[in-house]
Amino acid sequence: MSYSSLAHFVKTLEEAGELIRITLPVATELQITELANREMKKPEGGKALLFEKPTIHGVISKFPVLINAMGSRRRMAMALGLHSVEELSSQLEFLMKAKPPKTFRDGLTLLRQGIDLVHARPRYVKRGPCQEVVYRLDQAQSDFSLSSLPILKCWPHDGGRFVTLPTVYTKDPDTGDRNIGMYRMQVYDGSTTGMHWQVHKVAARHGKRYYERGEPMPVAVALGGDPVFPFSAMAPLPDGIDEILFAGFARKRSVELVKCISVPLEVPAESDIVIEGFVYPGETRPEGPFGDHTGFYTPVDDYPVFHVTAITHRREAIYPATIVGVPPMEDFYMGEASVRIFLPIFKMNFPEIVDMALPAEGVFHNLVFVSIRKQYPWQAFKVMHGLWGMGQMMFSKYIIVVDEDCNVQNTSEVIFRLCSNTDPQRDSIVTKNPSDSLDHAPTIANLGSHMGFDATKKLPGEGYTRGWPDLVKMDPAVEAWADQFVGYPG
Ligand SMILES: Cc1cc2nc3c(=O)[nH]c(=O)nc-3n(C[C@H](O)[C@H](O)[C@H](O)COP(=O)(O)O)c2cc1C
């Protein structure tokens, strides 16, 4: 299943009992985010909230605000048109392991996957609902501007209003390869924002090439449409892999792309709102502070400036937003889904990996649990080094490796193994790697130390000279006997 607009997703959420409509006016300055934060802290992420009458400086906006739409396991799966994100993970695994079919059934399954891959190719269309209403900010005076959108101020000490769920489209000027990333945008005035692509991200690399060539960088920001787009934008796909292909494959329907009005880029025709413009070489401006994923404010720093040339939208557009802060928040469920979906890719690189988890407390990269089927000495360290060298896993601050019989989805089980199975000096390693720009702990921004713990059972050859004890476990026959009772015998 795919969605033709954000309104379509809202309808689906509502029919599933996953949405609350707030019909009274609520301010876009702090009030919407306070209610959303309370909802996100409820067990299993609460419900999605649709604010029908968001107010900007006391005036009701014509665009409703949708928030927490992907903030639970169920809603995250619904956003991708699935019952569970594992369905997509199995499809990816199948594709990667595909071998010539041996049976008719194998052949049919392969054919079906082939058809899904056909959907990965986008279709180019002349017109799209995202351009039903067009405002050129670079031409005739228009009273429509960024200030007309219900952009939220999330936390009291934020430097202003921030677009928090944007999908940012850029192209590599050398190859023409497209990238979509999710980078927040601080509103400076009606036609200018910050562009918070951090130094390690793909759009920052594109930007650097434009700056070196001395050319303005076209940028398009799409909001809304099928929720597969924000998910694809935040997912850590390798540089060079087009998120639009992934989105089409994931939703089993080709993405329709339409040319932007004022920049040489294409965006999904079914988006709700599109903001177009340019980033100019060398121009930066202080950005922040911003109450961030880390649960702390990120301080002011210089980032590129985005000059808006046009804003287009559907007639009945909905403005999508999220709030980040002390976890768990909506982004935890987005991050968790991306780990589940891309686990087969990790396993392809590291066949010993059984499972992985990035618990909410670790705010994405700060804490990574990995279980492995260990075969040889120091294999846990090999896995750590591999992860530190793999895309955005480079940011992983603490990696804890456990044996395959430990459930990494259960934080307390992992901490138990860490505490009981490690001799800190022998089983840890501290190394240097780039660190997440948002991490406030390193002395120098973007450079940090990273620590790994081998909490697996020690094998002969790993220097452990005593016999490793067995984990205390009940006899399986006795467990089976006890399982037959709901409570106690009799
Ligand atoms: C809600 C949300 C907000 C984000 N904000 C930013 C941001 O402001 N800057 C940034 O560099 N990454 C941000 N990220 C993380 C990136 O979207 C993520 O690293 C993505 O994979 C980057 O895409 P890229 O690899 O194509 O650059 C955010 C993620 C989420 C879920």
Is residue 192 included in any domain, yes or no?
yes
Q: What pLDDT is recorded for position 100?
A: 63
Question: Annotated active-site positions, please?
Answer: 292
Is residue 328 included in any domain, yes or no?
no
CA 197 to ligand 1 center in whole angstroms:
7
In ligand 1, which atom is closest to the CA atom of 330? 1
Is residue 439 included in any domain, yes or no?
yes
pLDDT tens string 148-173: 999 999 999 999 999 999 999 999 99
Q: Are residues 299 and 441 in the same domain?
A: no
Q: Are residues 411 and 269 in the same domain?
A: no
Q: What pLDDT is recorded for position 119?
A: 80
- In the chain, the number of structural domains is 2
Q: Are residues 362 and 446 in the same domain?
A: yes
Among 221, 234, 242, which residue has the most ligand 1 atoms within 8 Å of its CB, making it the best to mutate?
Answer: 234
Q: Are residues 446 and 407 in the same domain?
A: yes
CA 5 to ligand 1 center in whole angstroms:
22
CATH value at residue 370? 3.40.1670.10
Strand partners, 301: 287
Among 40, 158, 183, 365, which residue has the most ligand 1 atoms within 8 Å of its CB, making it the best to mutate?
Answer: 183
Is residue 23 included in any domain, yes or no?
no
Q: What pLDDT is recorded for position 282?
A: 93
Q: Are residues 223 and 305 in the same domain?
A: yes
Q: Are residues 314 and 438 in the same domain?
A: no
The three-state DSSP-derived secondary structure of the chain is CCCCCHHHHHHHHHHCCCEEEECCCEECECHHHHHHHHHHCCHHHCCEEEECCEEECCEECCCCEEECCCCCHHHHHHHCCCCCCHHHHHHHHHHHHCCCCCCHHHHHHHHHHHHHHHCCCCEEECCCHHHCEEEECCCCCCCCCHHHCCCEECCCCCCCCEECCCEEEEECCCCCCEEEECCCEEEEECCEEECCCCCCCHHHHHHHHHHHHCCCEEEEEEECCCCHHHHHHHCCCCCCCCHHHHHHHHHCCCCEEEECCCCCCEEECCCCEEEEEEEEEEEEEEECCEECCCCCEECCEEEEEEEEEEEEECCCCCEEECCCCCCCCHHHHHHHHHHHHHHHHHHHHCCCEEEEECCHHHCCCCEEEEEECCCCCCHHHHHHHHHHCCHHHHHCCEEEEEECCCCCCCHHHHHHHHHHHCCHHHHEEEEEEECCCCCCCCCECCEEEEEEEECCCCCCCCCCCCCCCCCCCCCHHHHHHHHCCCCCCC
In ligand 1, which atom is closest to the CA atom of 179? 26
Which residue is closest in CA terms to ligand 1's atom 18?
A: 234
CA 389 to ligand 1 center in whole angstroms:
19
pTM of the full structure: 0.94
CA 105 to ligand 1 center in whole angstroms:
40
Q: Are residues 305 and 356 in the same domain?
A: no
In ligand 1, which atom is closest to the CA atom of 203? 27
CATH value at residue 291? 2.30.110.10
pLDDT tens string 393-426: 999 999 999 999 999 999 999 999 999 999 999 9
Of 321, 339, 358, the one marking the end of a domain is: 321
Residues of the chain with pLDDT under 50: none
Q: Are residues 354 and 313 in the same domain?
A: no
Which residue is closest in CA terms to ligand 1's atom 21?
A: 236
Is residue 238 included in any domain, yes or no?
yes
Pocket of ligand 1 (CB under 6 A): 164, 179, 181-184, 196-198, 201-203, 234, 236, 322, 324, 331, 334, 392
Residue 433 domain boundaries: 350-454
Of 282, 305, 321, the one marking the end of a domain is: 321
Among 201, 287, 323, which residue has the most ligand 1 atoms within 8 Å of its CB, making it the best to mutate?
Answer: 201
Is residue 490 included in any domain, yes or no?
no
Is residue 344 included in any domain, yes or no?
no
CA 398 to ligand 1 center in whole angstroms:
20
Which residue is closest in CA terms to ligand 1's atom 9?
A: 183
Q: Are residues 106 and 241 in the same domain?
A: yes
Q: Are residues 317 and 354 in the same domain?
A: no
Q: Are residues 257 and 406 in the same domain?
A: no
CA 182 to ligand 1 center in whole angstroms:
4
In ligand 1, which atom is closest to the CA atom of 331? 31
Contact 328, 362 (CB under 8 A): no
Is residue 421 included in any domain, yes or no?
yes
Which residue is closest in CA terms to ligand 1's atom 13?
A: 183
In ligand 1, which atom is closest to the CA atom of 182? 17
Q: Are residues 288 and 356 in the same domain?
A: no
